[in-house]
Structure 1
Amino acid sequence: MNRKIMINFIKDHILFTFALYCSSGLVMAFFWLQTGQQTEMMYPWLLVTFVYIIFMTIRLYRYMTFYHLIKNKKGRFDNGSINEGHLNEEQRMVIENIKKLEERSLAKVNKLESQNENKYRVISQMIHNMKTPTSVIDLMVQYSQNENTNAQEIIEKINKENQVINEHLDQALHYLRLDYFQHDFSIEETDLLQQLRELINLKKDQFIYNQVFPQWNISQEAVAVLTDKKWNKMMLDQIISNAIKYTALKSGERQISFQIKCEEDRVHLMIEDTGMGIPENDLKRVYEPFFTGENGRKIRNASGIGLYLCKNIAERMNHKIRISSKVHKGTKVTLTYLTKL
């Protein structure tokens, strides 16, 4: 028998042994004082010791059973692998708590594995998306070696493909940062209109190149909302980029309008384009990663990750995002911000 187990067992029962013999001695002393007669002391002590040995033998057996059960455990505890008849109530409680910890750990491991699998799939697809513009640039470089080529035209095409690569890289970086979102955001009062103006100015060339015109239907000079400046800018940038991209495919009027609706404790920002619109069947799936839908097939650089990121960012910042659309009429994205906690 393992010496360490015996030492631990004795330590665990020293107090019980001391209490048993002390109480037995006090009872015998009480009767001796009450009767005033000398009585046989050895026989009661032997009876107490006999019962004590039987009791401690059973306790030791259960103690050893529990010890080996824990020490030699392989895999999870399940109802079929444990004979609870040899365990006392305290040991059963320990086993139950171990089972609960195992279930929580297993759920956490499964969640992490699922997240890693999704992350691998997302990053792989993003890298695959970047291969196309790099191949186009390579072809442009080869084509430029021809003396009759228009250098300015080639530079413009290479610049366009470079923008596509930068867009995919930004999306990849934002996706990776989502894991550390709680350590990388700060909700503060932000002027929403100032951010919008800055983004529209930054995208001025993109608006002009695609012949899409922003329409500012906002009378307020400033509107304060509670958000994180950096993440909100990324979300707005993605929504405006999508609006430009899909509006440019449509002939006729090409506009993106910006409207604000203020309520007591919240602000609604509406970004509405006159683009292709999203089919009703696709509208239900626009937030799924890599879902490009019918419209995405018409655009070579559609990644299908932008709105997925927007949805995740909006939820983590306690914002709401809603999309409504009609085919051939356009798409409307509504972002709802809180103005007070």
Structure 2
Amino acid sequence: MTIISYLKDHWVYVVTQTFFLLMFTAMLELVGTPAPILSFLAIVYVVFAVMYLATDYYKRAKFLNSLSRNLEKIDQKYLILDTIECPDYLEGRMIYENLYQINKSMNEHVKGYKENVNHYKDYIEMWVHEVKLPLSSLSLIIHNMKAGEETTRKLREQLMRLDNYADQILYYVRSETASADYQFCRTSLKSLVSAVAQRNRTAIQEKDISLKVHDLGYEVITDSKWMEFMVNQILDNAMKYMKPDEAGEIEIYAEEAEGQITLHIKDNGIGISERDLPRLFEKSFTGDNGRVSAKSTGMGLYIVKKLCDQMGHRIRITSKKGEYTNVSISIGTFTL
């Protein structure tokens, strides 16, 4: 609020006081009041009127300007009441009380929304854990069944896809909630990659992929469970987009540079077009590769990127169409 805007808003008061001053001095002059006394009374009248305007302007400007400045500074506008004090004039108190009621109503709405989200999250997590039980049973049945090798291979492949999609649902729901259950600990990259490789051992063998693992003698501070999911998603993508007419090769290794340990997962698959690279982490983006493969959902890398951001890791993808794709996850050298 500026002085000009304040005076424009109070023009009726200014005009009225000016009119009364003129009437007052005219009446005193008619009754023969001496000029010095008349001037003194007029000055006193003007001083008191100006003092009232100045005091009123200060109170209003202090509250309204503080309200405007703080609204610009904070991202969560509904927290504005925590940054201002209740003013001591009527209109200001009314504004403050109305803001309080609005904030109270919104907090109740947000509380109900969070409860619904948590119920939804709990249900999805329970559903995923329950559906994994029959998937595990199916895996044992397929392992023991006496069917043709090709039939068994196809069944195992589809079962693995179901298992990966169930994990995607679980981690997607968890990543969308503000309070993800991260448990950071010292994690061996070698053990983590070995667990992922063992999980995908059958698929790697059946696709005749050469998996080269080296230079993983590092320990990093991360959530091993979430990190294992991310590496599994990247490895699954690498296997999914291998060249059909060329021996597949996936190389997993780590390096330390500039205070960070970076895990690389590199393949010699079909690669990614240059125009698709900037959009790989967009939700449901499949790109050129997804249009030629019905297996792509565009959610895997989106979830991985979201988890990396939440855990303070950095993911990058470099690729050349028809030659290679290299996915790297950089983990800062944090200490527990």
TM-score (norm 2): 0.58
Q: 1:169 is aligned with what amino acid?
A: A
Contact 2:157 2:203 in 1 (8 A): no
In 2, the alpha carbon distance for the partners of 1:106 and 1:212 equals: 55
- 3-state SS in 1 of match to 2:150: helix
Runs of 5+ consecutive residues of structure 1 not aligned to the other structure: 1-86, 124-149
1:225: which partner in 2? 220
> Following TM superposition, by how much is the alpha carbon of 1:174 offset from its aligned partner in structure 2, in angstroms?
1.3
In 1, the alpha carbon distance for the partners of 2:148 and 2:176 equals: 43
1:142: which partner in 2? none
Q: 1:89 is aligned with what amino acid?
A: Y
> Following TM superposition, by how much is the alpha carbon of 1:92 offset from its aligned partner in structure 2, in angstroms?
1.6
The structure 2 residue matched to 1:239, chosen from 234, 253, 256, is 234
The structure 1 residue matched to 2:159, chosen from 130, 138, 162, is 162
Q: Does 1:262 align with 2:259?
A: no
The structure 1 residue matched to 2:297, chosen from 303, 306, 315, is 303
Contact 1:168 1:303 in 2 (8 A): no
Q: 1:168 is aligned with what amino acid?
A: Y
The structure 2 residue matched to 1:318, chosen from 299, 304, 312, is 312
In 2, the alpha carbon distance for the partners of 1:330 and 1:107 equals: 50
1:92: which partner in 2? 92
- Cα distance, 1:195–1:102 mapped onto 2, change above 3 Å: same
- Cα distance, 1:183–1:217 mapped onto 2, change above 3 Å: closer
> Following TM superposition, by how much is the alpha carbon of 1:105 offset from its aligned partner in structure 2, in angstroms?
7.0
- Cα distance, 1:287–1:264 mapped onto 2, change above 3 Å: closer
Q: 2:326 is aligned with what amino acid?
A: K
> Following TM superposition, by how much is the alpha carbon of 1:287 offset from its aligned partner in structure 2, in angstroms?
1.0
TM-score (norm 1): 0.57
- 3-state SS in 2 of match to 1:269: strand
In 2, the alpha carbon distance for the partners of 1:339 and 1:90 equals: 56
Which is higher, the Rg of structure 1 or of structure 2? 1
> Following TM superposition, by how much is the alpha carbon of 1:263 offset from its aligned partner in structure 2, in angstroms?
2.9
1:339: which partner in 2? 333
In 2, the alpha carbon distance for the partners of 1:304 and 1:334 equals: 18
- 3-state SS in 1 of match to 2:241: helix
Q: Does 1:190 align with 2:184?
A: no
Contact 2:174 2:180 in 1 (8 A): no
- 3-state SS in 2 of match to 1:321: strand
Aligned residues: 224
Q: 1:27-47, CA deviations, whole angstroms, 9 ceiling, x for partnerless residues?
A: xxxxxxxxxxxxxxxxxxxxx
Q: 1:19-77, CA deviations, whole angstroms, 9 ceiling, x for partnerless residues?
A: xxxxxxxxxxxxxxxxxxxxxxxxxxxxxxxxxxxxxxxxxxxxxxxxxxxxxxxxxxx
2:81: which partner in 1? none
> Following TM superposition, by how much is the alpha carbon of 1:217 offset from its aligned partner in structure 2, in angstroms?
3.6
1:216: which partner in 2? 213
Contact 2:248 2:269 in 1 (8 A): yes
State the Cα RMSD in Å.
3.5
Q: 1:232 is aligned with what amino acid?
A: M
Q: 1:192 is aligned with what amino acid?
A: L
Deviates more, 1:263-272 or 1:203-212: 263-272
> Following TM superposition, by how much is the alpha carbon of 1:97 offset from its aligned partner in structure 2, in angstroms?
5.9
% same residue: 27
- 3-state SS in 2 of match to 1:303: coil
- 3-state SS in 2 of match to 1:288: coil
In 2, the alpha carbon distance for the partners of 1:101 and 1:227 equals: 42
In 2, the alpha carbon distance for the partners of 1:324 and 1:200 equals: 22
Q: Does 1:173 align with 2:170?
A: yes
In 1, the alpha carbon distance for the partners of 2:299 and 2:249 equals: 24
In 2, the alpha carbon distance for the partners of 1:339 and 1:293 equals: 34
- Cα distance, 1:107–1:241 mapped onto 2, change above 3 Å: farther
Q: Does 1:276 align with 2:270?
A: yes
> Following TM superposition, by how much is the alpha carbon of 1:235 offset from its aligned partner in structure 2, in angstroms?
0.6
